[in-house]
Amino acid sequence: MALGSITSLGVGSGFELQDILDKLRQTDEITVNLKKAEKTRLEAQVTEFDSINARLIQMKSSALSLSLESNFLERSAGVSDEEIISADVISGTELSSYNIDVKRLASKSSFQSIGFEKQDSIFYAAPVLEFTTPDEPVVTEKTILAFTIGQGEEQKNISVDIAAGSNLKEIAKAVNSAADNLDEDGNAYAKATVEFRADEENPGASKYYIRLAASDENSLNDNRISVSQGADLVAPDFVSSYKTGTDADPVYISVPHGATAQDLVSLINEDPNNTGMTASLIEDGTAENPYHITLTAKESGEDNRIELESNLSSVMTEKQGAETSLNASFSIDGIDYQRQSNDGLESLIQGVTLNLNKVGESQLTISPDLDDMKEKITQLVDTYNELIQDISSKIKYDSDEEKDGVLSNSSSAKALTFELSALIATDVNTKTDITSLLDLGIESNQDGTLNLDSKKLDAAFSASIDDVTRLFIGDEDAELKGLGDILNDRLTELTHTSGLINGEKSAAEGKISRLETNIVVAEERLDKRYEMLALQFVQLDAFIGTMNTQSQYLTSVFDAFNNSQNN
């Protein structure tokens, strides 16, 4: 129901007063509706201006990339045989090619032990007395146990009196409390413990014995024990050392009596001081003694060669041989090099990181990597075409909608097409054969869009990369501004808040704001006017109704009088 309408309006008069009231309002609302239509048209233009600006910013991004010299210094590393070498290259590396001959790959030092029948085969067995119980007497008369612990100036000479009739527990106690075996704080240098060596296959062979080991468990210290008297009473740990590299500190392995091949592997790998070697227990598949302990350096090269102490090397064989170098050996353009590893080799060719994969010869070629620049040119052209086509479709008459395009009265949109067309055709005095985008395979179509011949673009980059670079980045020494800067600077101006499109957009937004105010004021004025008219129409309807009633009364009086006269 229209504002000001009354459901009973016209009942008294018999006239279509509400319809009259509504039609009057529709006539008065024509001006307001024109303002609303203008507001809708301007809002649509603002949306289009935002779309145009977005594409201009895309073009500016491509132009900015084309203005940066660093982007024209991108390089790619090509190799004739990727199975032999691979390489990474940084920007600005000198364009060149190199002949690389890989003669030997860097390898890791490794050893392999003699064979063992099983994984739990005994690796170390000391010549010690073993007993079925730790409580039975071991010695029948007083005995002396003498041993040394440590090496050099740190070596300690220890002598222990063993009483007649002592059992294993008593012998261990005597060792741990002997005066020679205690430091100034009362701590024992060597620790004696009663151990049980289980034999799962032959439980009857399981025995008790005394293990003698250093209290100091730091494997960087040589705390080996050597028994000179009473050797059959205790089983000192087997101690040997290894190094990974000539300059490395030795690491000492303490192997207890009864340790298996697998126990030795675990001792080596779980030692926190072991940072350079990995131990494994492998099965080589042979019928007899197939299990072998292997020691492998964690890093390749001579600086990580494993060196074993003689008592350990006697049961281990070096796989490469001491006379074989572990370093990689190769030549670059006839110059010989050696390196500790095969990967990440630097300081050979400036800007290049080389990886050796296989023995053989291969050629490394450093060439420009300008695919990204070609892509930026393509993006610039594509965005330009999208923008030109969009503006063209919005400024002409729309036959389908039978109305003018949303930008038909936009002077800035029309001016922008001419501005961009001239900008794209900018000629730079490079003093070379390449002075504009037209020399890179770009042609103008009749509809104002551009056509890019990718083959001509590739040919220009391949044949005249220096000239292409000069076109886009210019020459600071020659005070030559490159096309990349020219495009970027002008597109920056166009997308500025005071630029061509944003200027008209701001004006349109100002008009929209004023129209919104005018529409609100006009509608409020109409509402008040038709509220008053509605009341006046009600009064008119009531008055006419009264007059109609009086007319009907008088008519009935006259009709009655006339009838009486006739009678």
Chain segment 292-331, per-residue pLDDT in tens: 999 999 999 999 999 999 889 889 999 887 788 999 999 9
pLDDT number for residue 537: 64
Confidence check: pLDDT of 134 > 50: yes
Q: What is the mean pLDDT of residues 374-398?
A: 88
pLDDT at 111 over 90: yes
CA distance 436 to 225: 86
At residue 40, the pLDDT reads 83
Residue whose C-alpha is closest to residue 138's, from 112, 108, 110, 171: 171
Higher pLDDT, 479 or 99: 99
Question: What percent of the chain stands above pLDDT 90?
Answer: 57
Long-range contact set of residues 177-185: C-beta below 8 Å, sequence gap at least 24: 180/156, 181/156
Task: State how far the alpha carbon of 250 is from the alpha carbons of 224, 242, 267, 274, 276, in Å.
Answer: 13, 5, 15, 10, 11
Compute the mean pLDDT over every residue in the chain, rounded to the nearest whole number. Answer: 88
Q: What is the band of 545 on the pLDDT scale with cuts at 50, 70, 90?
A: low
How many H helices and E strands in the chain? 11, 24
- DSSP strands (E only) in 198-302: 207-214, 225-229, 235-236, 238-244, 251-255, 277-283, 291-297
Report the alpha-carbon distance of residue 318 to residue 305 in Å, rounded: 10
Q: Check residue 475 and report its DSSP letter.
A: B
Angle, alpha carbons 160-165-168 (nearest 5°): 65
Evaluate whether 382 touches 55 at the Cβ level (below 8 Å).
no
Question: What is the Cα 130 distance to its own chain's centre?
Answer: 62
**Token pair recorded at residue 295:** 């020691």
The whole-number average pLDDT for the span 3-23 is: 58
What is the arithmetic mean of pLDDT over 37-60?
86
> Does the pLDDT value for residue 13 go beyond 70?
no
Least confident of 124-128, 278-282, 396-400: 396-400
Beta bridge pairs of residue 97: 365
70 vs 535, more confident = 70
Q: What is the pLDDT of residue 119?
A: 92
| Residue 334 buriedness (CB in 10 A; 0-12 / 13-18 / 19+) | exposed
pLDDT at 8: 55
- Would you state the pLDDT for residue 233? 94
- Give the confidence band of 17 by pLDDT, cuts at 50, 70, 90: low
The pLDDT of residue 493 is above 80: yes
- pLDDT attached to residue 3: 46
Q: How confident is the model at residue 145 (pLDDT cuts 50, 70, 90)?
A: very high
For 78-96, b where at least 16 C-beta lie within 10 A, e where not — what string?
Answer: ebeeeebbbbebeeebeee
At residue 118, the 3 state secondary structure works out as coil
Separation of alpha carbons 140 and 520, rounded Å: 122
More confident residue, 514 or 541: 514
Check: CB of residue 149 under 8 Å from CB of residue 189: yes
- The dihedral region occupied by 479, where left means phi > 0, alpha psi between -120 and 50, and beta the remainder, is left
What is residue 49's predicted lDDT score, i.e. its pLDDT?
83
pLDDT at position 4 over 50:
no
Q: Is the pLDDT of residue 5 over 70?
A: no
Global pTM reads: 0.68
Cβ(365)–Cβ(97) below 8 Å: yes
Residue 152 has pLDDT above 90, yes or no: no
b (16+ CB within 10 A) / e for 29-46: eeebeebeeebebbeebb
Share of residues in the chain with pLDDT > 70 (%): 94
Give CA–CA dist 397/403, Å, rounded.
6
Three-state DSSP at 147 gives strand
DSSP string, 262-275: HHHHHHHHT-TT--
> What's the pLDDT at 223?
94
| Residue position matching structure tokens 């490394």 | 364
Looking at 110-114, 182-186, 245-249, 332-336, which range is the least confident one?
Answer: 245-249
pLDDT tops 70 at residue 235:
yes
